[in-house]
Amino acid sequence: MNRKTLIIVAVSVAVLLGIFVLLRCAKGPCPLSKGKSGVSLSGLLNQAKDLQNKGDLLAARDAYVRLLNEFTASNEAQNWQKKVEELNIKLLFSSTVTPKSVSYVIRPGDTLTKIAREFKTTPELIAKSNNLADAKIIPGRKIKVWSAPFTMLVDKSQNTLTLKSDEEVVKVYIVSTGKNNSTPVGTYKITNKLVNPTWFKSGAVIPAGSADNVLGTRWMGFDLAGYGIHGTTEPQNLGKQVTAGCVRLGNPDVEELYTIIPTGTEVTIID
């Protein structure tokens, strides 16, 4: 085989290998990819999955965050972001102490409400993250308490609500906002919270659980009369501008937020 033929064969093999890699990467994570720091995509992804399977939620979350930072252009980035959000919520609702929470020793005279007020969190979140069946607590026991503040950002152009803690994204929710762009822009605070709210509509009283009660299962009112965040009886309209001005979430999502968000939490709404 002469030199020219060898060159042609080598080039052909390189081209075929390149096509194979492109096709393989188009179908999912590319095992030959290297990150910005030279880390292997497949190695880091396997590490993240192994950590999650072992129950090390914090380390698994951090591994998925690193995947997002190392492989920003990957077609799997959206899936990794969902994994990060899923693990963030699991961490919130678990007894794992994170940099945004503290290990608190219950003192005589403490109640869940008192502890929640001290750390600007919710009794529901303390109970859920410590697997407490009721409000009864025992002095001397150590419990996890979330201590970092939460904020929410509603983007009307995207119909999303982004939950943040210390400016880090915890989770992004799909919402409905006001028709004709009627949801007010600005920064507000959550001033009241209700479970299974009654809807007072133009003099009519529509009870909780009614198919006509558009508030769904939870209400979190703003310091702007008549506006707030609530559930829905029309989940098929999430992601659209269809409300009278409030922000709607699916009932499972609004119940999740209700557990996390204390009164006083800031909500910023942008166009």
196: left (phi over 0), alpha (psi -120 to 50) or beta: left
Neighbour tally for 89: CB within 10 Å = 14
How far, in Å, CA of 156 to CA of 84, rounded? 24
Contact 258, 220 (CB under 8 A): yes
Q: ∠118-119-120 over CA atoms, to 5°?
A: 95
* 224 CB-contact burial (10 Å; exposed 0-12 / middle 13-18 / buried 19+): middle
Contact 187, 268 (CB under 8 A): yes
Query: What are the CA-CA distances from residue 185 to residues 122, 126, 177, 228 (Å)?
Result: 26, 32, 11, 12
Q: What is the CA radius of gyration of the chain?
A: 24
Q: Which of 171, 218, 230, 248 is catalytic?
A: 230
Q: Which of 60, 112, 170, 246 is catalytic?
A: 246
State yes or no: is 230 an active-site residue: yes
Token representation of residue 5: 């033929």
C-alpha torsion sign, points 136, 142, 111, 261: negative
- In single-letter form, the type of residue at position 59 comes to A
Q: Which residues are catalytic, by number?
A: 230, 246
